[in-house]
Amino acid sequence: MRRDPVTVTVTGAAGQIGYAILFRIAAGEMLGPDQPVRLKLLEIPAALPAAEGTAMELADCAFGLLDSVEITDDPEVAFDGANLALLIGSAPRRPGMDRGDLLSFNAAIFAEQGRAINAAAAEDVRVAVVGNPANTNALIAASHAPDVPLGRFTALSRLDHLRAEAQLAEAAGAPVRDVSRVIIWGNHSGTQVPDLDHARIGGRGAREVLTERGLGQEWITETFMPTVAMRGHAIIAARGGSSVASAAHATLRHVRDWVHGTPEGTWTSMCVPSDGSYGVEPGVISSAPVICSAGGWRVVPDLEMSEDITTRLEASVRELRAERQAVQDLGLLGPRTR
């Protein structure tokens, strides 16, 4: 029997990541080969014609799983009945804009979208924020959606997680499929903390494998951590543009694992509202190792943390706290109290 379609709202649908992700969603790569989808595309008025063009190409693919495509510039229409909301669109920095201008401009977008999600989305809505600053944008949207459980708001650190797996595999001379249990802690920014203390490579501890190859703590702190954290800048330098296909891929994996569960015996990294564990105060959305099952997520408990990782995570959380404070000072945090 054919399943009921899932409604997926994608913001910034005419942007680069939007273009890279929509066809893969329609092909079943996010929710599986038996799950029909309805796509709802949100854009700013100036980008509606480009979104129409993308919708024409989606039609031309004749995807069997794609029930409908709707395009709008009205957030309440876009999020009406949304089961999954991918908040990809955000405003880029323009000449003359300082950091405060950028933050307040984007905060206004995510506040409006949070209110629309609260008013119109399906009861089971799950939100994945990609648009930067992703953690704080997710916090803003959640703060304006007090009727949606807080845990339904997440932001993307999966691209950083995948980058960490790839760097570790390369250094270990192992296939990337053998790598598991890396962790990204903190903010999706340069202060993020890539951690391989618990990582496994083909059933062995990553540190043991690295030691055999003559790579110790110095390689971890001087090469691995900065390479992962600054990979976005390296891509821009090489390509002349930011990560697009890899960001779309990471978003698909983030949602797929959230909906279908992380594979047995491992975890992924997601920016989630802190439960207070690992010294991360509740009230920020911070990346952590999570296990997903039955459509929910939980932070992996009781992992040992080195002093170095703890200190770095504290610095990243300080940055998240400062971002939250800046938004609060602008009066852009919403009515959610818990």
Instruction: Restricting to residues 158-187, name those near ligand NAX by CB under 6 A.
Output: 159
Distance CA 275, CA 189 (A): 21
Q: Is 14 annotated as a binding residue?
A: yes
Catalytic residue among 144, 161, 188, 249: 188
134 in contact with ligand NAX (CB under 6 A): yes
To the nearest whole angstrom, how small is the minimum distance from the Cβ of residue 207 to ligand NAX?
27
Q: Is 131 annotated as a binding residue?
A: yes
Per the CB < 8 A criterion, the answer to whether 190 and 229 are in contact is yes
Structure tokens that stand for 160 in this block: 């950083």
Stretch that binds ligand NAX, among 28-36, 129-137, 193-201, 314-322 (CB under 6 A): 129-137
Spell out, one character per residue from 25 to 44, where the chain touches ligand NAX: x when CB under 6 A holds, - when not: -----------------xxx
Residue number, 106 or 180, with CB nearest to ligand NAX: 106
To the nearest whole angstrom, how small is the minimum distance from the Cβ of residue 330 to ligand NAX?
17
Q: Which residues of 145-180 are buried (b: 16+ CB within 10 A; e: fewer)?
A: bbebebebbbbbbbbbbbbbbbbbbebbebeeebbb
Q: Is 169 annotated as a binding residue?
A: no
334 in contact with ligand NAX (CB under 6 A): no
To the nearest whole angstrom, how small is the minimum distance from the Cβ of residue 167 to ligand NAX?
16
The gap from C-alpha 201 to its chain's centroid, in whole angstroms, comes to 25
Stretch that binds ligand NAX, among 8-16, 138-146, 218-226, 317-325 (CB under 6 A): 8-16
To the nearest whole angstrom, how small is the minimum distance from the Cβ of residue 87 to ligand NAX?
9
Task: Name every residue whose Cβ is closer than 8 Å to that of residue 101 and which is 6 or more positions away in sequence.
Answer: none
Residue number, 16 or 227, with CB nearest to ligand NAX: 16
- Is 188 a catalytic site residue? yes
Structure tokens that stand for 323 in this block: 């971002």
88 in contact with ligand NAX (CB under 6 A): yes
244 in contact with ligand NAX (CB under 6 A): yes
Structure tokens that stand for 325 in this block: 């404070």
Structure tokens that stand for 47 in this block: 């980008």
To the nearest whole angstrom, how small is the minimum distance from the Cβ of residue 307 to ligand NAX?
28
Binding residues for substrate, by number, are 93, 99, 132, 163
Binding residues for NAD(+), by number, are 12-18, 106, 113, 130-132
Binding residues, by number, are 12-18, 93, 99, 106, 113, 130-132, 163
Positions touching ligand NAX (CB under 6 A) are 11-12, 14-18, 42-44, 47, 88-92, 109, 130-132, 134, 156, 159, 188, 242-244, 247
Q: Could you give the residue numbers annotated as active site?
A: 188
